[in-house]
Structure 1
């Protein structure tokens, strides 16, 4: 591994925590940003207390780092400004700190496949604009952008309930019956990051990542997989789009009183109803030699979520 010191954001989150453990296991010196932690942990991680709004913390985080991996991101928000503050401005500040630090040789932004369709939601728009801002201020630092599809695995709180109910014999379907979905296990995403770190030379590129299932999945194929695993039928219940949109609008109204950012918003409904979330690993496989190893069927069968 060419990088000796790696700066990491989002290290306490679902993807970032798995990545941090893998980096530490590989003998990399990890500097991780966190709101409530500081000092050096038993595993050697140097925690930098601060946020993406704190320029001093970002300078300390990136000082002397060979590589910067930006996993932090906001997935819940009451308006576009909530998302922009973190996914756009926070990403830009981190890139600026990495450039000013003078030692960063490569920068990786963990974005989202949603950035491919920025008009769908506040979140998608912020991920797209965050990518643009990072590239704009990178200077000579090569910027790689990973756009994974829906990531799942141990520690994930979003897809786990869906998979648990699926294996119990229930599937709530959204959108059109022939909507195409794709997934990626967190271990495969982390292995892709390791391939990026191991690459002797990197160039600024954007990669889409999924588990490699040809043509992705639709609701019928998900039900079929679960039915095979449990050796029993899976009942499908259709969630009408009007009901989902009504709940989303009510969530926004309620958030004005609770001051809590909802997950289900009208924009999120647009994402859920989008007809095609498939992608291809061709570019990243050709460039970095990465191939996913865990198909959804295997993960469900072995409860790898």
Structure 2
């Protein structure tokens, strides 16, 4: 049993990690923001501290890190109004947290990065502000000296129970429609439980020399994904293959709504373009070797069905 400092515990992936770490006997200190919804964490036997990764200074982190053997850094901005916001939290915040962890004598630092830090298939690097901020964080960790071991995981397209971003697609499918981009680009989504098991393995495995991609076992086409989605909600329907221009228009409208409300949009023009135009796949065999016996256990049909069932139990669907 080890003491783990977890960031992002009130989020989608972080909440699953918090539950798994507590269930496997770890003593967990979870950092939360002042505005975080902590109801999920309140049901667990763990300690909570307030920490804003975007703020200068490290006194809160130092207090929470004392006595911890490992850090699981899952906290991040996935939506922001501009690139500087991404950089302040995802890049600079990660660097400051790693410095505080090293000062506290933490043995291992597991960083949950993103496939966006690599960029889409065939690209020379990240193509989005979010991806660049994650790549900058990876570079900061790679340039560190000292004895603290670092493991970097790059999940891509994480979905599962608790994910509110995909809920509109499930609701549309429940009405008999599945809207997808008219794209030949494959994707490789990964069920949240498979990411959690990879993180647990990374806490024990030898530290990898390079970032490890974490994805589902199979690459998917957009039409196959649409069929699996309709099967998950138990209703046959029609697949709408929309031209990329319509996705870009939806992103533009979402950006406008974000400016009017002062909130970062779930979809913007860049993210819409990334979904419609790029392939997001990876080779997970190196990750399987390093994290052995880890492997993705949930196929897309099973994962989407479990997600739909969770939505129903919560009354969301």
Q: Same fold (TM over 0.5)?
A: yes
- C-alpha displacement of 1:256: 4.0
1:1-305 pair list within 5 angstroms: 4-36=2-34, 43-52=44-53, 53=55, 54-102=57-105, 104-117=106-119, 118-137=125-144, 139-166=146-173, 168-176=175-183, 178-199=184-205, 201-213=206-218, 216-226=219-229, 233-289=236-292, 290-302=294-306, 303=308
Normalising by structure 1, what TM-score?
0.88
Deviation digits for residues 201-223 of structure 1, max 9, x if unmatched? Answer: 3244311111201xx11122223
User: Are the structure 2 counterparts of residues 230 and 81 from structure 1 closer, same or farther at C-alpha, using a change threshold of 3 Å?
Assistant: closer
Rounded Cα–Cα distance in structure 1 between residues aligned with 2:133 and 2:117: 8
TM-score, with structure 2 as normaliser: 0.85
Separation of aligned partners in 2, 1:68 and 1:78: 28
Offset of residue 133 of structure 1: 1.6
Deviation, structure 1 residue 234: 3.4
- 2-structure distance, mates of 1:256, 1:42: 35
* CA-to-aligned-CA distance 1:130-164 (integer Å, 9 cap, x gap): 21122223533221111111111111111233244
Task: Provide the rounded CA distance (Å) in 1 between the counterparts of 2:50 and 2:288.
Answer: 36
Q: CA deviation at 1:175?
A: 4.7
Distance 1:188 1:168, change over 3 A: farther
- Alignment CA distance shift 1:42-1:263 (3 Å): closer
Q: Deviations over 1:43-99 (max 9, x none)?
A: 431111221125111111222211101001101111111111111111111111111
Q: Sort the Cα spacing of 1:301 and 1:281 in 2 relative to 1 into closer, same or farther, 3 A.
A: same
Distance 1:119 1:288 in 2: 25
**Higher mean C-alpha deviation, range 244-253 or range 44-53:** 244-253
Residue 274 of structure 1, CA deviation: 3.4
**Superposition CA RMSD, Å:** 2.5
* 8 Å Cα contact 2:173/2:235 also seen in 1: no
- Contact in 2 for aligned 1:211/1:294 (Cα 8 Å): yes
CA distance in 2, matches of 1:152, 1:218: 16
Give unmatched runs, 5+ long, in structure 1.
none
Alpha-carbon distance change, 94 to 159 in structure 1, aligned in 2, over 3 angstroms: same
Does the C-alpha gap of structure 1 residues 28 and 157 become closer, same or farther in structure 2, counting only changes over 3 Å? same
**Matched residue SS, 1:205:** coil
Q: Report if aligned partners of 2:115, 2:213 keep a CA contact under 8 Å in 1.
A: yes
Deviation, structure 1 residue 296? 0.9
Indicate if the aligned counterparts of 2:156 and 2:188 stay in contact, CA closer than 8 A: yes
In the TM superposition, residue 233 of structure 1 has moved relative to its aligned partner by 4.4
CA contact (8 A) 1:153 1:304 kept: no
State the aligned residue count.
297
Query: Which secondary structure state, in structure 2, belongs to the residue aligned with residue 217 of structure 1?
Result: coil
